Structure 1
Amino acid sequence: MALLPWNATAVNQDALTARLFVQNKNTNAVERMLVQTLEAIKEGRLQQALDYVNQLLTISPNFALAHLIHGDLLSAKTRILHGFGDVNAADVTRIQDFKDEAETRIRNYFDRNRGLTQPNLLVELSEKQNHVLFVDTARSRLYVYEKSQRDTLKYVADYYVTIGKNGTGKKDQGDKRTPIGVYFAARKLNRPLPDLYGDAAYPLNYPNEIDSYERKTGSGIWIHGTPRDTYSRPPRASDGCVVLSNPDVQALQNILQTGGTPVVIGVNFQWVGADALKQQAQTKAELSNALESWRRDWVSQNTDAYLSHYTRDFFYSEGDLAKWSSYKRQIQAAKPKVSINLADISMFTYPNAKQNMVVVDFEQEYISPALRNVMKKRQYWVQENGQWKILYEGSA
C-alpha cells in the first residue's frame, strides 16, 4: 500500500511534528479531524486515515478538500501516487487551491493549540459592545473575542475564512481585494440573496471615512457564507468579502445579529501576552486624556485651545480644517454656555496604518440655551509629534 506524498507537498513538516491532540472547547471538529487524517497518512496508517476522512465527510459531506483526500486514499490501494490530488492531477490550479487550504488550516490548528492571547492593538469596547472580531488576512482566520472582567478581552473562538482573490488593500471597484481597516458589521440582510452568499450575509461599512477620503471605490464588502454545495472555499477566492463556512456563519449569528459589531481587518497581527498589552493600556490612558481635554476646551469656548486638538490634515464631510475652523469660530464668537457629555466610548487601533491611528466612537450629548442634541459620533485620532490629534470627525 503506497504512502501518500503529503509529507512534502501538502503540510508543513514542522507543524506535523508538533503536539497533535491538545483539546479545548473551541477546537473546530472539522479541522481536528482533518489533522488526524493527515497525521495518519504521514505515519503510513492509511486505513485509519480512510476511517477518519469518512467520519469527516459524514459531518461535512460537501467538504471538497476531504473528498480529494478520500479519493487519494482509495487510489493508493491500487497504485502509487505521485502527488497530492494525483487522482485528478489535470486540474493544477484547483489542486493548488486545496493545498493552500490544507496548509492554512493545519498551521492555524497548531497556532490555536499554543494558546491565543490577542493582537497588539488598542481595543476598548463600549458599554453596548460585547464582542470584537479580528480578521487576520495573512492567516485566513477570523478570531472572536469577548469583553471580560476589568475591560479585558477573552478569546472565544476562531474560524477559517476566505478573502479576496487578489489579496488585501482594496482600492478600486472590482479589484477583488479585501479592505484593511476598522469596520462595523450591520445586521443580517433579510432580502433573498443568490446561493453564492450562503446562509447569511452581514454588510461591512466599506468604504469607511478614511477609505472615502483616500478615494477608494467599490462597495458590497460582506461577511457571508458559502453555496449549499460547498463547505469552504480556497484561502483567496472571494471578490473581496470575508467568507466563512455556513456552520461558522451560524455560530457567529448571535454576535452579529446585534448590529454594529466591530470587525478589525489586518495583515499579520502581532500576537502578544498580557505584559506587552500594558503599553496599550498606557496609550488608552493618553488618548482618553486627549479626548477629555478636547471636551473641556469645547465647553470652555476657548476656540484656539479647542482647534489645537485638530491636525492640519483634518477633514470632515463638508471640507477641511480651514472651513471647520471658520465654522467653529463663528458659532463660538458669542461664547454660549454649553454642556457636553460623552458616554459609551469605544477605541480601536487602525491596523497597518501609515501612522498610529485610533478610531474613537462615542455618544455625545450637547446642551446649549437653544438646543439639546444627542448623537453617535466618530473620530479618527492620530499621533502627531507625540501628541494625539483629530484627523476626522463626523456622525457614526
Structure 2
Amino acid sequence: MKKLLLALVFLSSVLGAKSLEQIYLDNGLEAVRDAIENNLQSKKHWQEILKGKELKYGYYPAPTFITVVDKTSKKLELLHYENDKLESRFSKKNIITGLMGDKLKEGDLKTPVGAYHITRHFKPSDQYYGPAAFSLSYPDLYDSLRKRDGGGIWIHGLPFDGDRIDAEKTRGCVAFDNDELVKYENIIGDKGGVVLINEEGIKEATNEQIAAIFAELFAWKHAWSVSDIKKYLAFYDKDFIRFDGQRYKAFAEMKTSIFNKKESKFINFSKFRIIPYPSVEKGSFFKVIFHEKYLTSSYKFEGEKTLFVRLDGDKMKILVEQ
C-alpha cells in the first residue's frame, strides 16, 4: 500500500497542474484511471522514473547477477545489480571462447551471441571442464524459431591434466583458468543470473531506450485492452513468429476475429525485466519478461510473458512472443 501511495503522489506531480485528487473531484474515478494510463504510455514519464538508474545491462525488479562476455576482447565481467545500481564483482581477461560469428548449428564451434540465463551450477564429471561449470539457456525461444540449434553451452574451467584448449576445443563454451573460475563460482554460487554474450564490443542499453520500451509496452497493453486491432498489430513486426510457430498473417487474422467480439478484458503487467539482447544483426534488440494477468468472460491466464523485440527509434516491434 505504501508503494502505491508513493506512486500516486509521483503521478500527481507529473500529470501537471491538476492533481489526481482534483481530476477525481472534477470527473470521477474513470478520469483518474485514464490519466494514469496516458502517463504510463509516455516516454517522458518513464525517463523521469528511470533518471539516475544504472540500466546499461538491463532493468530488473530484484537483485541479479549479470555476466558480460566480449568474444573480441576475450573479457568476462561479473556485475551485481541491486537497487538500480551496478557493482563489478569479478573480471577476467584472456578468456577462451568459441569461433567468431553467431552460432547457427550444432558442431559449428561458435559461441552464441545473445542474452541467456544460467540454468544450472554443477561439478562436471569429466576433468576436461575443470572444477565447476554453469550451463546456459541456449538455444532460447528466439534462437529456436530462427532455426538455431545445438546446445550444451557452458561457462567452465580448463582440463586438470594441463592440456591446452583453444577456440575450437571449447566447442562454443566460455572457459578460463581454474583458480579464477573458483573465484567466480564463490561469488555467484547457485544464484544464477543473466549472461550477455557480445560479438564485437559490449552493446549497452540506454535509459532512454528502457523508457521507450516501458511506454510502448503500456501503449500495446492499452490497444489490447480496448480491442483496437489496428494499433495493436502495429506493434508486431511483419516477420513476427509466435512461440508455436504461427506467423504474422495467421496471427493477425486470429486476433482480428477475437477483437471483433469486443469482450471486456482485464490485463495487468508487473515485475518487469528488460534485458538488452546482443546480436550480430544491425539494430537494438531486447528480451522483455513480465508477469501478466489476463481475464475475460471466456479465458483466463496468469503467468510469465516473454517478448523478443527490436527498438526502432522509440517504436517497439515484437519479433517473438511467448
Give TM-score scaled by structure 1 length.
0.61
In structure 2, the partner of 1:3 is: none
Q: Equivalences for 1:59-98 in 2 at 5 Å?
A: none
Cα deviation, residue 231, structure 1: 9.1
Q: Which ranges of 4 or more aligned residues in structure 1 deviate by more than 6 Å?
A: none
Q: Pick 1 or 2: higher relative contact order, CA cutoff 8 A, min separation 6.
A: 2
Task: Please report how far the alpha carbon of residue 135 of structure 1 lies from its aligned counterpart in structure 2 after TM superposition.
Answer: 0.3
Matched residue, 2:274:
347
Shift in Å, 1:177: 1.2
Task: Note closer, same or farther for the CA distance 1:256–1:135 as it changes in structure 2 (3 Å cut).
Answer: farther
The yes-or-no answer on 1:313 pairing with 2:227 is no
Residue 211 of structure 1 corresponds to 143
SS at match of 1:283: helix
Q: 77, 82, 86: which is aligned to 1:153? A: 86
Aligned residue for 2:284? 356
Equivalent residues in 2 for 1:287-298, closer than 5 Å = 287-298=213-224
For residue 176 of structure 1, what is the aligned residue in structure 2? Answer: 109
Distance in 2 between residues matched to 1:256 and 1:141, nearest whole Å: 20
Deviates more, 1:136-145 or 1:334-343: 334-343
Q: What is the total number of aligned residue pairs between the two structures? A: 265
Residue type of the alignment partner of 1:144: L
1:196 aligns with 2:128: yes
Contact residue 121 and residue 349 of structure 1 kept, 8 A: no
Q: 2:191 aligns with which of 238, 241, 258?
A: 258
Mapping 1:13-162, distance limit 5 Å: 122-149=56-83, 151-160=84-93, 161-162=95-96
Q: Between the two proteins, what is the percent identity of the paired residues?
A: 25
Residue equivalent to 1:46: none
Residues 377, 251 of structure 1: alpha-carbon distance in 2 compared, 3 angstrom cutoff: farther
Give the TM-score of the pair, scaled to structure 2: 0.73
Indicate if the aligned counterparts of 2:60 and 2:273 stay in contact, CA closer than 8 A.
Answer: yes
User: 3-state SS of the aligned residue for 1:252?
Assistant: helix
Could you list the runs of 5+ residues in structure 2 that have no partner in the other structure? 1-53
Per-residue deviation at 1:154?
Answer: 2.3
After superposition, the Cα gap between the structure-2 partners of 1:232 and 1:125, relative to the gap in structure 1 and judged at 3 Å, is farther
What RMSD over aligned residues (CA atoms) do the two structures have, in Å? Answer: 2.7
Distance in 2, Cα, partners of 1:227 & 1:338: 57
Partner of 1:245: 177
Whether the aligned pair in 2 keeps the contact of 1:310 and 1:389 (CA below 8 Å) is: yes
Inter-CA distance 167–237: structure 2 relative to 1 (3 Å threshold): farther
Shift of 1:384: 4.0
Structure 1 residue 241: Cα displacement: 0.5
Residue-by-residue CA offset, 1:243-293 (whole Å, 9 max, x unaligned): 13333333333525133x11110123258xxxxx8x811111111100111
Residues 287-296 or 128-137, more deviating: 128-137
DSSP-derived class of the 1:163 partner: coil
